Amino acid sequence: MTRHLALACALACGCRELPEVTHEGQHVRIAVDPGLELCAGSVAHMDEFVALLSAELGLEAPTDDDRLLAYWLERDEFVARTACEEGADGCARNGVFFARLLPMNHEFVHTVAAPLGRSLSFFSEGLATAYQGLGAGIDADEAPLLDPIEPLLRAPTNKLFGIAGGYPHAGAFVAFLIRTHGLDAYLRVVDDIGLAADVDDIDRAFVAGFGASLAELVREFNVASNRCAHPAYDAKLVECAAPELSWRDGRIAEQRPIACDQPDAVGPYGGNVVVVFRTVTIPDAGEYTVELFGDSTANKLALRSCGGCDSEPTLTLRAGSPATTVWLDAGRHTLRLFGAVDQRTSLGVRITPAGAP
């Protein structure tokens, strides 16, 4: 398949051949163009993502010759070499994906879910958005999603992509259906809907599988989820399974270097961002003081609950920000620590219950 794709590309556009596999993981194989470089923890991160998502979807994680293949290619000639849509940062074709940027777990959702069969763009992009994770997204818009769902349901991928909020909106609705009716029921209904469905077919499949009409579910979604943006509804599979920082002497304190060549450093997101994934468990809901020390403006942290739609918005701190006291829900939180690919930086984080001596 790969060789066929490469050949087809070379014949079709006379452009450079696709690169050979450069990184072998347990569940993924990555082929990158010369000159592009992954941070040291990226392949392990992608392996873990594929394993967690496969388990979530009730699928065997692919191994050996079935491992998922991802190409990370230069921007020049990207469309000609891949047949991805103009303007897209990546696309999945027959279980293989092509990306202008890695890591990009959104495309891994498409390739992991490929054995479930094809579905309307709204549902496949919705699933990919609901499970893609937070990656290096730090200024995500947590504003309400209030536009109507119905016009999006049968929109093709390029139209969905072109509508402001199209993907996050599809993700929000899919996450809502999964949250309220379970993943198994959701997958059965989407399978039932098929590729040629019109809105009436979707309505019939919803009634049969969810026991509620499309209009009823959209109404329920608008009430229940209109404050639930992507960082809240995303499954955060890897983010919330990351190594946990422990409490010592009544506080969490971590000091460490951040650089692309560290074994747990994932990147380069967007070409230059390095992220280290950690979790912390907040024992009791209440006010906590969070501090970040860093020696570069690239050093940031993002802290948010692993809970869903009712959780507090993400707390973001940048090096140089003053200590911040915020309300934190009890339970597990994802803590992402940021640096830059072209810098070796050092970063410290401290979390203390407010009012502690």
Chain residues in the site for Zn ion (CB under 5 A):
125, 128
Residue number, nearest CB to Zn ion: 128
For residue 128, the minimal CB distance to Zn ion (Å) is: 4
For residue 107, the minimal CB distance to Zn ion (Å) is: 7
Distance CA 84, CA 80 (A): 8
Instruction: Please check whether residue 46 is in contact with residue 277, taking contact to mean a CB–CB distance below 8 angstroms.
Output: no
For residue 91, the minimal CB distance to Zn ion (Å) is: 7
Q: Burial, 242: exposed, middle or buried (Cβ in 10 Å; 0-12, 13-18, 19+)?
A: buried
Cβ-based nearer residue to Zn ion, 125 or 264: 125
Cβ-based nearer residue to Zn ion, 41 or 137: 137
Tokens describing residue 337? 């620590």
Cβ-based nearer residue to Zn ion, 128 or 303: 128
Cβ-based nearer residue to Zn ion, 128 or 205: 128
Name, in order, each residue with C-beta under 8 angstroms of 205's C-beta and a sequence gap of 6 or more: 189, 192, 193, 197
Cβ-based nearer residue to Zn ion, 46 or 351: 46
Cβ-based nearer residue to Zn ion, 68 or 259: 68
Cβ-based nearer residue to Zn ion, 91 or 337: 91
For residue 93, the minimal CB distance to Zn ion (Å) is: 12
Name, in order, each residue with C-beta under 8 angstroms of 231's C-beta and a sequence gap of 6 or more: 134, 137, 140, 142, 304, 313, 314
For residue 158, the minimal CB distance to Zn ion (Å) is: 11
For residue 264, the minimal CB distance to Zn ion (Å) is: 27
For residue 165, the minimal CB distance to Zn ion (Å) is: 15
Cβ-based nearer residue to Zn ion, 128 or 140: 128
Distance CA 92, CA 111 (A): 6
Q: Which of 115, 133, 134, 113 is nearest to 123 (CA)?
A: 113
Distance CA 213, CA 200 (A): 10
For residue 125, the minimal CB distance to Zn ion (Å) is: 5
Instruction: Please check whether residue 331 is in contact with residue 265, taking contact to mean a CB–CB distance below 8 angstroms.
Output: no
Name, in order, each residue with C-beta under 8 angstroms of 284's C-beta and a sequence gap of 6 or more: 330
Instruction: Please check whether residue 156 is in contact with residue 203, taking contact to mean a CB–CB distance below 8 angstroms.
Output: no
Cβ-based nearer residue to Zn ion, 86 or 200: 86
What are the DSSP calls for 308-354, one per residue? -TTSPPPEEEETTPPPEEEEE-SEEEEEEEEEETT--EEEEEEEEET
Q: Residues 204-212: contacts with CB within 8 Å, 24+ apart?
A: 209/181, 209/185, 210/177, 210/181, 210/185
Q: Which of 193, 159, 54 is nearest to 115 (CA)?
A: 54
Tokens describing residue 303? 């802290």
